[in-house]
Amino acid sequence: MWVETENIYDLRRKLLDLPYCRDVKIPLKFRENILPYLQKPKIGFLRGAVEEYGDFEESDSLHVRVYDHYLKAHIDRRNPIYNPLAHLFKDASLQMGIFLTSVSVLFIVLLLRFSGFF
């Protein structure tokens, strides 16, 4: 889903209307309207992005990744700066749920296969 935004406040309002952790793409031309108001985290997962940024809000935190041709943004329930464990369990688990489910199913299938079950 693509979103055009005039400023960071407009972006936050649009993202809060979506489910948490739902990524939206933003044209790169809006970079200067958004990034000056955010900070670079000390640790994080770029997931193919060039850079990533976050805001200072403790909850409903804005997270933006910068790719070569667009930005990607979403709202996290908890800001990892203030509460990394809550972020890991509430937000990162939503983002990684499909991946972890796939890995778990593969592990179970391999376990059953090599145990002689089928």
pLDDT at 38 over 60: yes
Nearest CA among 39, 44, 38, 11 for reference residue 25: 11
pLDDT grade for 42, boundaries at 50, 70 and 90: confident
pLDDT at 94 over 70: no
pLDDT at residue 72, rounded to an integer: 94
pLDDT grade for 96, boundaries at 50, 70 and 90: low
pLDDT at residue 84, rounded to an integer: 76
Better pLDDT: 65 or 109: 65
DSSP state of 90: I
Average pLDDT over the chain, rounded to whole? 83
HSE value, Cβ hemisphere, 13 Å, CA-based, for 73: 33
Give the C-alpha separation, 8 to 33, whole Å.
Answer: 7
Give me the amino acid identity at 78: R
pLDDT grade for 80, boundaries at 50, 70 and 90: confident
Q: What is the pLDDT of residues 52-75, one digit of tens each?
A: 999 988 888 899 999 999 999 999
pLDDT at residue 100, rounded to an integer: 63
Nearest CA among 74, 64, 76, 80 for reference residue 30: 64
- Residue 99 neighbours by CB distance under 10 Å: 9
pLDDT grade for 31, boundaries at 50, 70 and 90: very high
User: What are the residue boundaries of the structural domains of the chain, listed by start?
Assistant: 8-114
